[in-house]
Structure formats: structure tokens, C-alpha cells
Amino acid sequence: MTDLVAVWDVALSDGVHKIEFEHGTTSGKRVVYVDGKEEIRKEWMFKLVGKETFYVGAAKTKATINIDAISGFAYEYTLEINGKSLKKYMENRSKTTNTWVLHMDGENFRIVLEKDTMDVWCNGKKLETAGEFVDDGTETHFSIGNHDCYIKAVSSGKRKEGIIHTLIVDNREIPEIAS
């Protein structure tokens, strides 16, 4: 990868994906790698600016790399996810998801709750869940190995804060990571 010009880490529900972009400004080459796997390769592109669109992760999230000339032979590379700049996408994502990382049975687990669908992901796989109404909110139950887990959703009582989601594993509360 001699013409590597940009690298981005994108956190999606199924994990953190590394996107790498090669741009040969003399050869016109464009190569996009997602998690080390070549997704797009174009040789001898006479137009050095433009965009490359591809899909990332299990949910096939749309990603676009924009190539813009900023002066002479200098270029700027920006990544968009689902039509939003990476920064805007990640800010919005922190509002629409909760993420927990925990270590059990000698393994690391990354658990993501998609608040809009109530889908729960663990290490890149969507889990089977069972929802249940309880006195003070809802519980979404699932298992990781032989561990009983659930995400409790209760109202904060404050409109600005909305609903508070808490992960409970084997009757222990797991702290959320800052996204």
C-alpha cells in the first residue's frame, strides 16, 4: 500500500471497521479496503477527483469517500456514512445506540443496543432477544454463552434525557462506554 492517503475507523453495530484508501495521483489508481479486504480497485482513472461508494459491515451501511482537489496537486479525502460526514454520523450514532464492552470467560464482548429498533448486537452478530414489560419500564433479555443478560429501559423522568438503558449481566450492572 504505497499510495495510502487516508485511514478511518468506523464504529457500527457489528463492530469497528477500518477503511483504508489508496489514491495514486500519478497513476490514477483508487483502491478501497474495508477491514483489510479490497472492496474497490480502479486503475488509470484520468479524473483524479470524484467519489467512491461502497458498503461496510453486516448491515451493508453505505459509505462514500469524496476526493476533492484543494490546490494544485493536493487532495482532501472525506468519508461519509449514510450520506452524513463521519463526524455527524458518529454524533448521531451516540444518540441512537448504547455500547458496552465487557470481559467474561477470558473473552471481550462488545454489546450494542440500537435504540430505534431495540436490536442487540454482540461481537458483530445480531442476537435473538425477548422483550418484557416490567413495573418501571422494559427489559430486553438475551444470552451470551451461559450468561443471562438483559437491557433495562426506564424513563429518566426528564424530557431532555429520555430513556436510560442499563445492561445487566448475571445480576451485575455493566457501565456503558463513552461513544
Q: Note the pLDDT of residue 27.
A: 82
Domains annotated for the chain, with CATH where assigned, are: 2-89 (2.40.128.180), 94-172 (2.40.128.180)
Q: Are 165 and 152 in contact (CB under 8 A)?
A: yes
Threshold 0.75, pTM exceeds: yes
- Polymer length in residues for the chain: 179
The set of residues, in sequence order, having a beta carbon less than 8 Å from that of 91 and lying 6+ positions away, is none
CA distance 147 to 104: 9
Residues of the chain where predicted confidence (pLDDT) is lower than 70 = 1, 178-179
For the chain, state the CA radius of gyration: 20
Per-residue pLDDT of 12-62, as tens digits, reads 999 999 999 999 888 889 999 999 999 999 998 777 889 999 999 988 999
pLDDT of residue 1: 57
- pLDDT at residue 63 in the model: 97
Residue 176, pLDDT score? 86
Nearest by Cα to 101 from 169, 147, 156? 169
Specify the pLDDT at position 49: 86
Q: Which pLDDT score, from 0 to 100, does residue 98 have? A: 93
